Amino acid sequence: MTYAYLALAIACEAGWAVGMKASHGLSRPLPTAITAVLYVLSLVFLALATRRLDLGTTYAVWAGLGTVLIAVAGVVVFHESLSPVKVASIALVVAGVVGLQLSSPHAAPPAPAATP
């Protein structure tokens, strides 16, 4: 479930960035509202993922893969340019995320429960 939370956090992060672009500087109410909701959900799911995963690695995966998804969305949805340098840069981000993931333990033990 922890990795599902992280995946949802990444998807919501990419979603709020796309929503922000679609809001035209937060001037359109519906895309602005969607952006705000997705932003909060992204942080909630990220917080849930960090309960069991290393903070630094989890944040790097969230930010890195979110960046990749946002760059791809920019090309696909908003018809932004795609150059060999951009493709190579995206590949480097993915390589960095994979390297961080491979270098960290899979999951930290759950935090102790609070006693009443």
CA–CA gap between residue 31 and residue 23 (Å, rounded): 5
Please enumerate in sequence order all residues whose Cβ is within 8 A of that of 48, keeping only pairs 6 or more positions apart, or say none: 2, 5, 9
Band (79; pLDDT cuts 50, 70, 90): very high
Torsion sign, CA atoms 83, 86, 91, 94: negative
Q: Which two tokens stand for residue 86?
A: 């951009």
Q: What is the mean pLDDT of residues 54-62?
A: 89
Band (114; pLDDT cuts 50, 70, 90): low
Q: CA angle, 109 as apex, 111 and 46 as ends, to 5°?
A: 70
Residues in the chain: 116
Average model confidence (pLDDT) for the chain?
A: 90
pLDDT of residue 86: 93
- CA 80 and chain centroid, separation: 20
Tens digit of each residue's pLDDT (9 = 90 or more) over 84-108: 999 999 999 999 988 888 887 655 5
